Amino acid sequence: MSTIDNGVNVQALLDARDVLAGAPEAAQFTWRATSRWENGVHSTVTIQDFFGLGEEQSHNDEHVFDADHPEIFAATDDGITPIEYLLVGLASCLTAGIASVAQNRGIQLRSVESTVEGNHDIRGILGVDSDARNGFNDIKVTFTIDADASRQEIEALVAQSQKRSAVFDAITNPTEVTVEVA
Amino acid sequence: MSTIDNGVNVQALLDARDVLAGAPEAAQFTWRATSRWENGVHSTVTIQDFFGLGEEQSHNDEHVFDADHPEIFAATDDGITPIEYLLVGLASCLTAGIASVAQNRGIQLRSVESTVEGNHDIRGILGVDSDARNGFNDIKVTFTIDADASRQEIEALVAQSQKRSAVFDAITNPTEVTVEVA
């Protein structure tokens, strides 16, 4: 549709949309993680396999992530805190959306950067105040985008990315989580 | 309180609770991430600094995470997908809670492992079906725990961890997210 190139294969996504419209069972994905407690509040989480398009799939590589608490909580700081991983997911999901929508709209991106800030009253998790929630109070994302487009077009890219973002939805709306002991 | 050692300094956490009960402003944390678009749907997200206890804080190291989409979405698979980062946060937060509660209750842990599965109908993000949500349909976490405790005590550890988990709350309840262009 144009000579712009953000590196996103939009045609493949449009083709997938057509195929999955007629094959809803193929659109049912299961993402997986396995975790292992190391010591203290330090754990490692591994991600590689998932299910989708009707069969087992795999990332090319195994990815292992460390989570811990910082030293100000008398912990070993061997990784970022668990709640910070939500900010990683949010920033990257919105960024991927911006690149995809820009490609679809023929807008060449030069740079897309964001800062994400999650406000958190830790009295909730410490059990100090039952009115303080355990999670974030709120999150603010600020994008700085350099592209061959007007400010209005850039704002529309960001808005459309939000509208189709898996992580934005997962954080702004409730999801049922079941926790069991094997 | 006992000779068990899960590596969690519970006394420091109890002391922090007492201090923060009288100093709510010190309990206001801001966790931060910065992201940079690389190409296609591949981005990198960096985490190091945060704010808490009334001043700027920092992890000992800078942590950089790659996010991308898998090759079945015609992407380069240079990292896990953004939504998988939510599973990393959930597994590690619940695990940290189990270790902390076990320490407080005098229960020696030997191993704590989990598998996390997030079901996701990708027709939402592709815009195939407006009834399909963008995020997870639901998430299931299964813990396998070896500890000097009865099954009932182990189930109580997991339940208490859920009750005080920042990430469990952030995923099961809505959080306001504001997205702006600088």
Orientation angle between helical segments B84-105 and B10-21, nearest 10 degrees: 100
Contact A165 B120 (CB under 8 A): no
How far does A41 lie from chain B, in Å, by closest CA?
Answer: 4
- Count CB neighbours of B97 within 10 A: 25
CB pairs under 8 A between A and B: 467
Are A19 and B74 contacting, i.e. CB atoms less than 8 angstroms apart? no
Compute the distance between CA of residue B120 and CA of residue B73 in angstroms, rounded to an integer. 15
Chain A contact set for B181 (CB, 8 A): 142-145, 151, 154-155, 158
Cβ pair B119:A29 closer than 8 A: yes
Which helix or strand (DSSP H or E) is residue B145 part of? Answer: strand B138-147
Of A117, A86, A28, nearest in space to B133 by CA: A28
Low-confidence ranges of chain A (pLDDT < 50): 1
Using a CB-CB cut-off of 8 Å, the residues of chain A touching B13 are 73-74, 126
What's residue B3's pLDDT? Answer: 84
Of the partner residues B6, B29, B70, the one whose CB lies closest to the CB of residue A40: B6
ipTM over 0.95: yes
Residue of B nearest to A130 (CA): B164
CA distance B10 to B4: 12
Residue B104 has what pLDDT?
95
**C-beta atoms of A29 and B121 within 8 A:** yes
Contact check, Cβ <8 Å, B122/A173: no
pLDDT at A2: 56
The mean pLDDT values, 10 residues at a time, for chain B of 182 residues are: 85 92 96 98 98 97 98 96 98 98 97 98 92 97 98 98 98 98 97
Tell me how far the alpha carbon of residue A69 is from its chain's centroid.
Answer: 21
Check: CB of residue A121 under 8 Å from CB of residue A130.
Answer: no
Q: How far is A2 from chain B (nearest CA, A)?
A: 16
